[in-house]
Amino acid sequence: MDVNKQFSDKALRDFKLIDKATVDGEENAYADLMQLYKKPVYHMILKMVRNIDDAEDLTIEAFAKAFRNLHKFKKDYTFSTWLFRIATNNAIDFIRKKKLDTYSLNTSFTDESGDSVNIDVQDENLNPAEETIKTQKIEIVQMFVNKLPAKYQKLVRLRYFDELSYEEIAVELDAPLGTVKAQLHRARELMYDLVKEKKDHI
């Protein structure tokens, strides 16, 4: 079967990048793949979860899962199809968990600053399926959280492991909400960089 006849130029470009990453060990190839698909993956997830903060978290998780399993990728279909399937399944798991452990009073609305806001009443009891999802999420983030500067590690643990909201983190750390948001945004950017560095982190 002639791969060149079966796939588009974009798909063939992605195949070359995957070979560079997995066969040649070129870390720049991971960065290139993330650069190509970070925005489309984020926007797809945002449509599913309708929350900016959750979409950013789930985008990081999707790339971490994809890059960790990139050596298993087979060229039976395009990389984008495979990546979006991973991202979609991860988001669906997240949505199921949210439905299981929250009673939503208002699924999502936007405040005056453009930030997405959720109002939920939490049910603290996790069932086995929820525990599995949470454990997988922690394992993914744990791969690189210890590599972050110390000032960001506690923020990330509170957000990803303890699953606190920005407001709860601000109270926990006795810090301004704006500072918490800015530092978590920076921590996410650093984690994106770590996701791209396969040899030491994935």
Q: Please give the span between the terminal C-alpha atoms of the chain, in angstroms, as a whole number.
A: 32
The helix or strand, by DSSP H or E, that contains position 107, with its residue range, turns out to be: strand 102-110
3-state SS track over 112-151: CCCCEEEEEEECCCCCHHHHHHHHHHHHHHHHHHCCCCHH
Question: At 133, is the pLDDT very low, low, confident or very high (cuts 50, 70, 90)?
Answer: low
Pairwise CA distance, residues 32 & 25, whole Å: 13
Count Cβ atoms within 10 A of the Cβ of residue 25 and give its class: 0-12 exposed, 13-18 middle, 19 or more buried: exposed
Fold of the domain spanning 3-201: Rna Polymerase Sigma Factor; Chain: A (1.10.1740)
Residue closest to 108 by CA, chosen among 100, 98, 119: 119
Report how far residue 76's alpha carbon sits from residue 130's, in angstroms, rounded to the nearest whole number.
32
Domain limits, the chain = 3-201
| Whole-number pLDDT of residue 32 | 92
Q: pTM to 2 decimals?
A: 0.67
Three-state DSSP at 197 gives coil
Question: Each residue of 45-102: pLDDT tens digit?
Answer: 999 998 888 898 899 989 988 988 898 898 888 999 999 999 999 898 888 877 644 4
When comparing pLDDT for 108 and 45, which is higher? 45
